[in-house]
């Protein structure tokens, strides 16, 4: 049908990636194949599992449910944008490590970004609020207990500065 | 998992959308939050030739509370509805419903207008809109009209919207004293969709008895509906258990109750009855200030 491509420019982790892509290109594929950032995982690709969760203008979204075209002009943060360098972990990652908040790790990038979005919005969530915020992230290993625990510990330990490495904008777009 | 190829247009104004819709009526689809449309496009159940992205139309994101009604722009997200203080004070049932739509990520992008236009038989809002007696504002190149919610849901994934119409807003009447509402949902644990969802909005008289009631049912039939015989049976009742139990028996009369892997028809019918009882009970308590 339509062989046309469109010009897409998306700021991923502070760096703008400008590429001609087919309109049907999903944001998750743009991130993995155009920006070369494979920490964002594809899981179910039907919007249920949350493995592909990224922050779009500071808000957690499933990147398999967004067209790259829709994200043009917007800011995306992936798991690679969490720590300041490749050699060290972000404090949130450290807490997940210490609290055994992961096993195989496939869902972890999405879980971390959903958790970050929660803690920026609500620095002192109770367990019910943590569970509600992570409903969109499916983990087949942990049984969730240690994930919830890790977020609870992160809420106790992380400072506002550590949470706001990239400030969220107020509007979801 | 890619949709079939399509052309993409990022709309710059409502007029822009209406012009394109008039030109490509049968081949275009509107892209709002995308959380209903993109899944069916990936499954190739929908293969639009043109996708008109309406996400830049900020005029569709307004919420205005007026003397007799609240207007909610079609592109207001579930997240906004769940957290907006104006909505919380004017129509708290919407907060309750928006809070249980999908999950955090879905609520951040999914929109109320998109959900209503898609009219998934298991979506949450249709029940709430029926209970709240909303009207749907739609625009086309021929002008604007308001569609009463009772005429809006016409069948499985089908609404009264014309192919060249844009759903622009939802209008909900303001409510007064002695008003109570509740949403009861049995959520599918995997998808988050309602196996059954019941919204109730009612008012009570000085004796604390029901003098008006609207019930919206989602998940049970091919589209959301009002069990009017149950509503009629509850008028004048104080919500005692015997009256409630008798009244809900007709909740699925005349409805082709859905049957799938999430539950057989007789189970869904029973859940429908029980959730109506729970929702009426809670709405009554709220109306009577308990």
Query: pLDDT tens-digit profile of B55-71?
Result: 999 999 999 999 999 99
pLDDT at A173: 40
**B2 within some domain:** no
**B134 within some domain:** yes
pLDDT at A86: 81
Distance of CA B177 to the CA centre of its chain: 24
Q: State both tokens at B137.
A: 């504002």
Domain end call among B156, B173, B190: B173
pLDDT at B156: 95
Quick check: A161 pLDDT over 90? no
Contact A9, A73 (CB under 8 A): yes
Residue in A with minimal Cα distance to B33: A66
Task: Give the distance from residue A130's alpha carbon to the nearest chain B alpha carbon, in angstroms.
Answer: 11
Contact A12, A34 (CB under 8 A): no
Nearest in space to A77 (alpha carbons), one of A31, A123, A119, A145? A31
Contact A141, A103 (CB under 8 A): yes
Nearest in space to B196 (alpha carbons), one of B283, B271, B129, B250? B271
Q: What is the mean pLDDT of residues A105-123?
A: 97
Contact A62, A98 (CB under 8 A): no
- pLDDT digits 0-9 by tens, A6-52: 999 999 999 999 999 999 999 999 999 999 999 999 999 999 999 99
Name A92's Cβ contacts closer than 8 Å, sequence gap at least 6.
Answer: A82, A112, A115, A116, A119, A154, A158, A162, A163
pLDDT at B189: 79
Domain end call among B123, B144, B173: B173
Do B166 and B91 fall into the same domain?
Answer: yes
**B59 within some domain:** no
For A131, half-sphere exposure in the C-beta direction (CA atoms, 13 angstrom radius) is: 7
Beta-bridge mates of residue B145: B138
User: CATH 1.10.150.120 in chain A, residues?
Assistant: 91-160
Do B197 and B110 fall into the same domain?
Answer: no
Do B40 and B116 fall into the same domain?
Answer: no
Do B269 and B204 fall into the same domain?
Answer: yes
Whose tokens are 């644990």? That residue is: B189
Do B81 and B131 fall into the same domain?
Answer: yes
Domain end call among B173, B205, B229: B173
Q: The domain A91-160: what is its CATH number? A: 1.10.150.120
A65 backbone φψ class: left, alpha, beta (φ>0; ψ -120 to 50): alpha
B236 backbone φψ class: left, alpha, beta (φ>0; ψ -120 to 50): left
The verdict on a CB contact (< 8 Å) between B7 and A2 is: yes
Task: Give the distance from residue A141's alpha carbon to the nearest chain B alpha carbon, in angstroms.
Answer: 16
Q: What residues make up the domain containing B27? A: 7-52
DSSP string, B226-287: --HHHHHHHTT----HHHHHHHGGGTTTT-----BTTB-HHHHHHHHHHHHHHHHHHHHHHH
Quick check: A139 pLDDT over 90? yes
CATH assignment of the domain containing B22? 3.30.43.10
> Chain B partners of A64 at a C-beta cutoff of 8 Å?
1
**B37 within some domain:** yes
CATH assignment of the domain containing B115? 3.30.465.10
How many domains does chain B contain in total? 3
Interface test with A, best of B43, B104, B114, B187 (most A CBs within 10 A): B104
ipTM: 0.91
Name A60's Cβ contacts closer than 8 Å, sequence gap at least 6.
Answer: A53, A54, A113, A114, A117, A136, B104, B105, B108
The verdict on a CB contact (< 8 Å) between B4 and A70 is: no
CATH assignment of the domain containing B277? 3.30.390.50
Q: pTM score, two decimals?
A: 0.94
> Can you list the residues of chain B whose pLDDT is less than 70?
290
The CATH homologous superfamily to which domain A6-79 belongs is Beta-grasp domain (3.10.20.30)
Do B123 and B139 fall into the same domain?
Answer: yes
What's the DSSP call for residue B116? H
Determine the Cα–Cα distance for residues B125 and B119; give it in Å rounded to an integer.
9
> Chain A partners of B38 at a C-beta cutoff of 8 Å?
47, 65, 67
Q: Provide the mean pLDDT of chain A.
A: 92
**B57 within some domain:** no
β-pairing verdict for B28-31 and B166-173: unpaired
Do B167 and B186 fall into the same domain?
Answer: no
pLDDT at A163: 87
User: CATH 3.10.20.30 in chain A, residues?
Assistant: 6-79
pLDDT at A3: 57
**B250 within some domain:** yes
Determine the Cα–Cα distance for residues B239 and B279; give it in Å rounded to an integer.
11
The verdict on a CB contact (< 8 Å) between A172 and B79 is: yes
Do B26 and B97 fall into the same domain?
Answer: no
* Alpha-carbon distances, residue B226 vs A91, A150, B278 (angstroms): 51, 45, 16
> Chain B partners of A62 at a C-beta cutoff of 8 Å?
105-106
Contact A24, A87 (CB under 8 A): no
Whose tokens are 């009861």? That residue is: B184
Beta-bridge mates of residue A8: A19
């Amino acid at each position: 049908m339509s062989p046309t491509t469109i010009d897409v420019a998306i700021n991923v982790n502070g760096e703008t990636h400008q590429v001609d892509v087919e309109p049907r290109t999903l944001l998750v594929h743009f991130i993995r194949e155009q920006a070369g950032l494979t920490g964002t995982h594809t899981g179910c690709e039907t919007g249920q599992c949350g493995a592909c969760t990224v922050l779009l203008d500071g808000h957690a979204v499933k990147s398999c449910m967004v067209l790259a075209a829709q994200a043009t002009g917007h800011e995306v943060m992936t798991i690679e944008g969490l720590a300041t360098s490749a050699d060290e972990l972000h404090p949130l990652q450290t807490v997940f490590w210490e609290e055994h908040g992961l096993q195989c790790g496939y869902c972890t990038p999405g879980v971390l970004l959903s958790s970050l979005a929660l803690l920026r919005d609500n620095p002192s969530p109770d367990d019910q609020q943590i569970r509600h915020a992570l409903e969109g992230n499916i983990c087949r290993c942990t049984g969730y207990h240690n994930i919830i625990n890790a977020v609870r510990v992160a809420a106790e330990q992380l400072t506002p500065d550590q949470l706001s490495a990239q400030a969220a904008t107020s509007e979801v777009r | 998992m890619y949709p079939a190829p399509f052309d993409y247009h990022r709309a710059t104004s409502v007029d822009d959308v209406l012009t394109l819709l008039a030109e490509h009526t049968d081949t275009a689809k509107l892209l709002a939050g995308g959380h209903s449309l993109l899944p069916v496009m990936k499954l190739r159940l929908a293969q639009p030739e043109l996708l008109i992205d309406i996400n830049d139309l900020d005029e569709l994101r307004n919420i205005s509370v007026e003397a007799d009604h609240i207007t909610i722009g079609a592109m207001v997200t579930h997240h906004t509805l769940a957290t907006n203080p104006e909505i919380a004070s004017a129509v708290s049932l919407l907060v309750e419903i928006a809070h249980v739509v999908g999950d955090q990520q879905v609520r951040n992008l999914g929109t109320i207008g998109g959900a209503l236009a898609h009219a998934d038989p298991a979506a949450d809002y249709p029940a709430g809109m029926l209970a709240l007696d909303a009207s749907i504002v739609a625009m086309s190149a021929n002008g604007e009209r308001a569609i009463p919610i009772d005429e809006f849901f016409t069948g499985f994934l089908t609404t009264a919207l014309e192919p060249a119409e844009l759903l622009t807003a939802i209008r909900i009447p303001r409510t007064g004293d002695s008003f109570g509402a509740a949403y009861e949902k049995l959520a599918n644990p995997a998808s988050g969709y309602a196996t059954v969802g019941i919204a109730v909005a009612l008012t009570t008289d000085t004796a604390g008895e029901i003098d008006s009631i609207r019930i919206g049912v989602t998940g049970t039939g091919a589209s959301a509906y009002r069990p009017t015989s149950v509503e009629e049976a509850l008028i004048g009742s104080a919500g005692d258990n015997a009256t409630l139990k008798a009244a809900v028996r007709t909740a699925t009369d005349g409805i082709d109750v859905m049957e799938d892997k999430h539950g057989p028809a007789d189970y869904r019918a029973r859940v429908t009855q029980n959730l109506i009882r729970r929702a009426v009970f809670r709405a009554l308590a709220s109306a009577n200030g308990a």
